[in-house]
Structure 1
Amino acid sequence: MRTTPVYYYSSASGLVRSFAERLDRPVFNLAERQHRMSRVDGPWVLLTPSYKTGNENNDTIPEAVRRFLRDPTNRRRMVGVMGSGNRNFGRHYQMACRQIAERSGRPVLFEFEIAGTPWDVTECRRILAELDAALAAGHDVQLG
C-alpha cells in the first residue's frame, strides 16, 4: 500500500516541520526550492500554516505554498489539506488551510494549533492511515 506523502511549509521557527516529521511518512518541505519546484507523482496531502500580521490586506497563505499549487498536476493530485494555526489570529485561525480546501474542493483532514500535541500527532497519523487505505481500495477520492 502506498503511503501518501505530505508536502508542508515550515518557517524558520520549525514548528510545522517538527509536526510533519513525527507523522512517520514521506514529508517534503516547500521552503526548500527542490521540493517547491517539484511535481508530485500521485496523491498527496498539503500541510500549511496560516499567517496573519494584522494587516487585513495581507494574505494568510505562504508564498511557497502558492507557488507549489500553481502547477496544475500538483493541484489535481492533492487529496486533502491540513492546517497549523495560532488561535491568537482570531477569525484568521486556520484561514490558509480552509481557503485552500474551499478553492480546491478538497477536504480539511486535520487542524492543530502551533506545533501540535502528542494527541494531535497520533490522531493525524490515524487519519492519514485511513486515507492511505481508502486510496488503496480505490474509493472515490477526488483527484480532479
Structure 2
Amino acid sequence: MRATPIYYYSSSSGLVRSFAERLGRPVHNLAEREHRLSEADGPWVLLTPSYKTGNDTNDTIPEGVRRFLRSETNRRRLVGVMGSGNRNFGRHYQMAAREVARRSGRPVLFEFELAGTPWDVEEARRIMERLDQALADRPTTG
C-alpha cells in the first residue's frame, strides 16, 4: 500500500518540518525550490502553517504553498490538508489550511498548534494510515 506523501512548508523555525518528519512517511519541504517546482506523482496531503502576516489582505498562506498549488496537476491530486498554527494569532489561527481546503474542496484532516504534541503526531499518523487505506480501496479507472 502506498504511503501518501506530505508536502509541507516550514519556516526557519523548523516546527512544521519536525512534525512532518515524525509522521513516518515521505515528506517534501516546499520551502525548497526543487520540491516547490515539482509535481506530485499521485495523491498527496498538504501540511501548511498559517502566518499572521500583517498585510492588507491578511494573507496567511505561505508563498511556497501558493507556488506549488499553481500546478493544475498538484491541485487535482491534493486529497486533504493539515494545518499548524499559533493560537496567539486569534482569528488567523489555522486560516491557511482552512482557506486551501475551502478553495480546493478538500477536507481539513487535522490541525495542531506549533510543533504539535506526541498525541498530535500519533493522531495524525492514524489519520494518514486510514487515508492510505481509503485510497488503496478506491476503484481504479483505466
Bucket of the pairwise TM-score, normalised by the shorter protein? over 0.9
- Name the SS for the 2:80 alignment partner: strand
Q: CA deviation at 1:54?
A: 3.6
Deviations 1:74-116 (A, max 9, x none): 0000000000000000011000000000000000000000000
Q: CA deviation at 1:56?
A: 4.5
Take 1:39 and 1:55, find their aligned partners in 2: how far apart are those partners?
Answer: 29
Q: CA deviation at 1:55?
A: 4.1
**Gaps in structure 2 of 5+ consecutive residues:** none
Q: Which residue of 2 aligns with 1:41?
A: 41
- Name the SS for the 2:35 alignment partner: helix
Question: What is the percent sequence identity of the aligned residues?
Answer: 79
Give TM-score, length-normalised by structure 1: 0.94
The structure 1 segments of at least 4 consecutive aligned residues displaced by more than 3 Å after TM superposition are 53-56
**Gaps in structure 1 of 5+ consecutive residues:** 140-144
- RMSD of aligned alpha carbons: 1.3
- Count the aligned residue pairs: 140
Question: Is 1:96–2:96 an aligned residue pair?
Answer: yes
- Amino acid aligned to 2:91: R
- Amino acid aligned to 2:96: A
Give TM-score, length-normalised by structure 2: 0.96
Q: Which residue of 1 aligns with 2:2?
A: 2
Question: Is 1:81–2:88 an aligned residue pair?
Answer: no
- Amino acid aligned to 1:24: G
